[in-house]
Amino acid sequence: MIEWINNRFGTEFNENDLKNIKDFSLLWNIFENLVCNRNCSIQRMEESLNQIEFQLVNFENSLAYLKERYTMDNNTNERFEHLRITPIARKEFVKQVLLENDKNTSNIILALAIIVYRYRNNLFHGEKNFMLLNEQDENFRVANQILKSILTHF
């Protein structure tokens, strides 16, 4: 498949460039099935995830990565705006977690899941330039870790 994509679109992907994105597709399928009963929404994630007592230690590296990626000088940055989190109340909720104004473990896990959900929407709805998907490798590596940490409870 990668050879076909490279030939068709002039990209130069290799297997390693897209491994985390391919893994994400499978993990997301499992997540949406088990956590969201095959119909994901932020509300459904919240209902499902809030029933579990997560250990924050399993998410600390992912949270640190996302804070570094989406905040600067005690505020969110332009990258955060590109996540296109809606509604505005949910955007503010995620912002407060990333800025460490909300340290409730359940809220942190939900905020991480919302970011992963936006990665999913950006990927599957074509909002990311597919010719540059290899530049998203670290985002999807982190997203995969978040999904795996959540799925250990299902």
Greatest Cα pair distance in the chain: 48
Could you tell me what percentage of the chain is helix, strand and coil, using 3-state DSSP and rounding each to the nearest 5? Answer: 70, 5, 25
Other CB atoms within 10 A of residue 27 CB:
21
Distances (CA, A) of 99 to 48, 103, 108: 24, 9, 11
Q: Check residue 126 and give its pLDDT.
A: 78
The per-residue pLDDT string of the chain (154 residues; one tens digit each, 9 = 90 and over) reads 999 999 999 999 999 999 999 999 999 999 999 999 999 999 999 999 999 999 999 999 999 999 999 999 999 999 999 999 999 999 999 999 999 999 999 999 999 999 999 999 999 987 778 889 899 999 999 999 999 999 999 9
Residue 114 corresponds to which tokens in the numbers above? 């919302």
Q: Check residue 59 and give its pLDDT.
A: 98
Backbone angles phi, psi at 75, to 5 degrees: -155, 165
Q: Check residue 61 and give its pLDDT.
A: 98
